[in-house]
Amino acid sequence: MINEQSQQFYTGTSSARSEMIQFLPKKYSKVLEIGCNVGNFRQYVSESCEYWGVEPFKEAADIAKAKMDKVLIGFYDQVADEIPNNHFDLIIANDVIEHMEQPWTFLQSIKKKMAKNASIVLSIPNVRYYNNLKELLYEKDWKYKDWGILDITHLRFFTEKSIVRLFTENDFEITKMKGVNSLSIRKRYLRSYCKYLLHKFVLGSDIDFLHFGVRAKIK
């Protein structure tokens, strides 16, 4: 379900994704994080909750185990049968579904793990990010890289519209969605900044954001 080429993991605060705190619901007690890496996001979630993680790479999972109640080693589809049904009131999946061959299948499967009124919180890369569009339109290139929008392990690409469609077509209701990790262009580079403003006016404000944060519930 997820491309198995990526084996990089991060122990630093840069992987903690603090910008996603704003999407957490007010109440939850049982949390499942898909792609938990070394468990850095755990620090932002209530200490009193039950916290499970799923992580495909053993080195990262072994670090995460010290921070969580239970960590399953494997890709989601490999360990799904070990995850209890109707149990979790919060699912977290930051930068995960773009690595999946069939993210819609994941959304259908994860419903079974969600308790009544549960929320799912995700960070999803935005393929219409300004720097990516600039490379495509001006440099006429689509070059895969080791990180970013065109991470070589990304199998699916999303826009603001297609994210909404993905959740709607899979019977989820989006309760909060906004762009995160916005573009910063220093105004002293006046020529580049003016070009950016023109592009933003023509193409839309969504080009500002590297990711969209989403919180959704089952309809």
Contact criterion met (CB below 8 Å) for 121 and 96: no
Counted domains in the chain: 1
**Tens of pLDDT, residues 78-122:** 999 999 999 999 999 999 999 999 999 999 999 999 999 999 999
Q: With respect to residue 6, please indicate whether it lies within any of the assigned structural domains.
A: no
User: Which CATH number is 213's domain given?
Assistant: 3.40.50.150
What's this model's pTM, rounded to 2 decimal places?
0.88
Q: With respect to residue 1, please indicate whether it lies within any of the assigned structural domains.
A: no
Task: Please provide the DSSP assignment of 17-48 as one string.
Answer: -GGGGGGS-S--SEEEEET-TTSGGGGGS-TT
Element (H, E) at 210: strand 209-218
Domain extent, residue 51, equals 13-218
Q: With respect to residue 123, please indicate whether it lies within any of the assigned structural domains.
A: yes
Q: Which residue has the higher pLDDT, 82 or 3?
A: 82
**Tens of pLDDT, residues 43-69:** 999 999 999 999 999 999 999 999 999
Q: How far apart are CA 70 and CA 181, in angstroms?
A: 30
**Tens of pLDDT, residues 122-140:** 999 999 998 899 899 889 9
Question: What mean pLDDT comes out for the span 153-179?
Answer: 98
Contact criterion met (CB below 8 Å) for 132 and 150: yes
Q: With respect to residue 90, please indicate whether it lies within any of the assigned structural domains.
A: yes
Q: With respect to residue 68, please indicate whether it lies within any of the assigned structural domains.
A: yes
Q: With respect to residue 176, please indicate whether it lies within any of the assigned structural domains.
A: yes
Q: With respect to residue 2, please indicate whether it lies within any of the assigned structural domains.
A: no
Q: With respect to residue 140, please indicate whether it lies within any of the assigned structural domains.
A: yes
